[in-house]
Amino acid sequence: MTNLNPSVVREKFIESVQKSKILAKRCNDCSTIRIATVLYCENCHGRKYKLIEYPGIGYVNTFTIHTVPPEGFEDVDGYAWVVFTLDDVSIRASGFLPGIKKPADLPIGSKVKVNGFDVKHGLVLKKL
């Protein structure tokens, strides 16, 4: 029922992630559910919606492993950038999963959970 400023939505999204949840929005016009950081409904282009929190648990769809970290990420010895689908609603999100060094460490379909937010790394995941 709201049309919040994108920076306010980002703050609310980070607050949810800190509680191991994902903030989504349901379009008031067509009921499409998307991750909250999407600015408008991708289905009907509506801009009014209701914010909803979902448990931040899902399964891995795909990932990219970084064994040689780029400049500024030397604090992590191997990590994966993961695209995952939430269990409770069919939306995808992506996040940073430290400690992954080879594909065998993270088979497709592995369960992951939102584990907080880091200013440098963004949405942080952990493997379940």
- Please write the tens of the pLDDT for every residue from 33-85: 999 998 889 999 998 999 999 999 999 999 999 888 778 878 888 899 999 99
Single-letter residue type at 34: R
Domain shared by 38 and 93, yes or no: no
CA dist 14 and 10 (Å) reads 6
Domain shared by 19 and 69, yes or no: no
Decide if pLDDT at 2 tops 80.
Answer: no
Considering 3-7, 10-14, 57-61, 75-79, the range whose residues carry the highest mean pLDDT is 57-61
State how many domains the chain has: 2
Instruction: Among 1-15, 72-86, 98-112, name the one with the lowest average pLDDT.
Output: 1-15
Domain shared by 28 and 86, yes or no: no
Residue 1 maps to a domain: no
The residue segments making up the domain with residue 115 are 57-127
For residue 102, give the CATH number of its domain.
2.40.50
